[in-house]
Amino acid sequence: MLIYKIFRTSEWEELQAKGETLGAPIDLADGYIHFSTAAQAAETAAKHFAGIDGLWLAAVDSADLGAALKWEISRGGAEFPHLYAPLKLTDVLSCVPLPFSEGVHQFPAEMP
């Protein structure tokens, strides 16, 4: 199953430069890297990245993350994927721009 991480441009560039990341400031504060499923990603963008342009949508195969990936109850009682390890650049299958237009983030018609 593919899961998704939304990056600010600076965070995506840092992952590319360093080869791994512990995530954004909220990830560091919470002690894990927040991911969303395809069904959760738009709501995550609206809640945590409202009005922000220059974002990137990274797709990761959840099976590749092993036991460090935990599915935990979060927003609205839904299970969200949380990674309790660094995310490696080699785990990212694709990363595409996530433009902000007409008041919403424009997700790909088919999630990568």
Spatial separation of the C-alpha atoms in residues 22 and 34, rounded to whole Å? 10
* Helix (H), strand (E) counts: the chain: 3, 10
Q: Give the 3-state secondary structure percentages of the chain, helix then strand then coil, rounded to 5.
A: 35, 40, 25
What's the chain's average pLDDT?
A: 96
At 111, the pLDDT band (50, 70, 90 cuts) reads: confident
Query: What pLDDT, in 10s, does the model give residues 26-41?
Result: 999 999 999 999 999 9
Q: Is the pLDDT confidence value at 112 over 80? A: no
CATH number for the domain whose boundaries are 2-100? 3.20.170.20
**Of 2, 64, 10, 9, residue with least CA distance to 35:** 2
Spatial separation of the C-alpha atoms in residues 70 and 33, rounded to whole Å? 10
Query: What pLDDT, in 10s, does the model give residues 54-108?
Result: 999 999 999 999 999 999 998 789 999 999 999 999 999 999 999 999 999 999 9
Q: Judge contact between 14 and 25, C-beta under 8 A.
A: no
Residue with tokens 């991911």: 35
Domain boundaries, the chain: 2-100
Q: Judge contact between 56 and 9, C-beta under 8 A.
A: yes
Helix (H) or strand (E) holding 26: helix 25-30
